[in-house]
Chains A and B, each alone.
With several copies, the nearest count.
Chain A
Amino acid sequence: MIEQHAEVIFNDPVAADTCLMGLKSREIAARAHPGQFVMVRVGPHADPLLRRPFSICGVWEQDCFLILYRVVGRGTRMMADAGSGDGFGILGPLGTGFDFPEQPEGSLLVAGGMGIAPLGFLAGRMDRDMHLLAGYGSIDQQIPVHALGLSPGTVLTATEDGSAGHHGRVTDLLEETLKRSPPTPTRVYACGPTPMLKAVAGLILNRGVFCQVSLESTMACGLGACQGCAVPAAPGRDRKYYHVCQDGPVFDIGAIDWEQI
């Protein structure tokens, strides 16, 4: 893991309040593994103070990595205001990545909202051996498949207002798929808002399908030093809390206490 100043190569709007940023860093592009994240120093002054965590959404050429982010507050607003030539302090790659085999056939990726950021990276690595279910509130939030460099055939969309794809939740699509197929997916990877992940847990846990989720939590250090990013471990684990930045952000779905979280 390294800490450096990375230059913005591009920073383009790809959906409502959502931008895709390319940052120049040969080192991070080389080391990045799907599921890992970076901590971004959003400005030079003491307010806002803390770095913001963002999943690595992909790598571009040899020397650029991607961040897909939604503008939700001050830090992401500052990022959205940046142009090529500007730069940010970057710390990463951080955390664990997704586990996936050389031959990932039958993998199912389930993304809610910005959860598509780490899964888009994973999907790219799996190419046509997977299907990606992408859920949004509405069509204006939909991330164009090409922006993530994915082949259209591999992505199924759901919107809660029905403005695009399936009318409903992305977990509906997951449920159908699990029912419809044999063969059930051999591997499920999910990332999104906590309520969605709880729903995924509800569908998966009893089926015993291999499933990894990428979690979020407020963070200070991103390095496992401050213990600020605790999430409750499932009963019977060797500890009461995991730390998202170090033990995660990718966890086996069985490792988390979905009641407490």
Chain B
Amino acid sequence: MSPVDLNVRLGPLELKNPVLTASGTFGYGREFAELVDPSRLGGMVVKGISLKPRPGNPPPRIVETPCGMLNAIGLANVGLDAFLKEKLPWLQTLHTAVIVNIYGHTLEEYAQVAAGLNGIEGISALEVNISCPNVARGGMAFGADPDMSARVTEAVLKHIDKPVIVKLSPNVTDIGVIARAVETAGAHALSLINTLTGMAIDIETRKPVLGNSSGGLSGPAIRPVALYMVHQVVKAVRIPVIGVGGIVTAEDALQFLMAGASAVEVGTGNFVYPKATLEMVDGLTRFCEKKGIPAITEIIGAAQQDC
């Protein structure tokens, strides 16, 4: 049997397979290097980078929930300069797509981080996290508003020559509207979903468990919501979509590919099964072999028809 072709395209970006790591769950890649050879992955999305380093929120930062977890890391990261100095050199040695997730609290911050990454070799694309509070709008998330989402996209595109993936927030009434606005603004691809906002309360202390009070819900619990939104967005736009949310196994990934996603990101699954991404690549191959599917691209969108 001829080997299965797992190659997929995200607009200008070509991946050797559709399995990526989700931002914030795989560090800068090196943390998992003893367990996961990055060169076997379609790519890695590294922890969200901001212009200046951020210490993050006071602990506790995580709490387990039914089939999921809440996190309030507070986008802690080393900042652009330290990323370039300390993290990038190792990333540049890898034979896989390196996607840098970025965020800001103002349009300028987004633009500056993008500019700082422009032209740097070893970075395959940017993923723009628009789920962050917009300081200018009293902390309402950029991603909650189509217009602001479009403007962030434009600001980033203006300062970078690399493919730009915009990562959408699920905490909206109609994610299709946001998706179209971002597409019109020129994004090369979309990734979704980021975390759903949630909370847990400690009934002994009568206080929220998380130091930040609320946090982002991730893990298998949110998979049905993510799958539905991917299915909707794929219908709404022409640019490629990356599925994110509760994806742990190859079977999970196949649901998103059939919904129309061109690739998937594994987040919380990395905590549960550190080798989840590798097993996913093997599982996708086995599935295609069993079904006699020569190329994974054949099943992308297979479940879009009857809707």
A interface residue numbers (CB < 8 A to B): 1-3, 41, 46-51, 89, 91, 217-232, 239-241, 246, 260
Query: Are A224 and B31 in contact, with the CB atoms below 8 A?
Result: yes
Give the distance to chain A from B258, nearest Cβ to Cβ, in Å. 20
Q: Is the CB of B271 within 8 A of A221?
A: yes
Let me know if A50 and B272 touch, CB within 8 A.
yes
B76 close to A (CB within 8 Å): yes
Partner of B25, one of A221, A224, A260: A221
Number of A-B contacts (CB under 8 A): 107
Using A46-B66, A49-B67, A241-B56 as known contacts, say yes or no to A221 and B270 having CB atoms under 8 A apart: yes
| Proximity bits, B44-77, A CB within 8 Å = 1, else 0 | 0001000000011011111110111101010010
A217 partner residues in chain B, CB cutoff 8 A: 59-60
Residue from A1, A46, A49, A89 whose CB has the most chain B CB atoms within 10 Å? A49
Distance (Å) between the CB of B285 and the closest chain A CB?
21
With contact pairs A3-B274, A46-B67, A218-B62 given, residues A227 and B220 touching in the complex (Cβ less than 8 Å): no
A-B CB contact pairs (8 Å), 20 listed: A1-B35, A47-B220, A48-B64, A49-B272, A50-B69, A50-B272, A51-B272, A218-B62, A220-B268, A221-B270, A222-B271, A223-B27, A225-B270, A226-B25, A226-B27, A227-B24, A228-B61, A229-B62, A230-B76, A241-B55
Chain B nearest Cβ from A5, distance in angstroms: 11
Complex interface: chain B residues within 8 A of A220 (CB): 62, 69, 71, 268, 271
B64/A50 in contact, CB under 8 A: yes
Chain B residue nearest to A225 (CB atoms) is B27
Q: Which residues of chain B are near A3, meaning CB under 8 Å?
A: 35, 274-275
**Min CB gap A52→B, angstroms:** 10
A158 to chain B, nearest CB (A): 26
Interface residue total, chain B, C-beta cutoff 8 A: 36
CA distance A46 to B221 in the complex (A): 9
Which residues of A have CB within 8 Å of B248?
46
Rounded to whole angstroms, the CA-CA distance of A29 and B219 in the bound complex is: 32
Known: A1-B35, A241-B76. A218 touches B63 (CB 8 A): yes
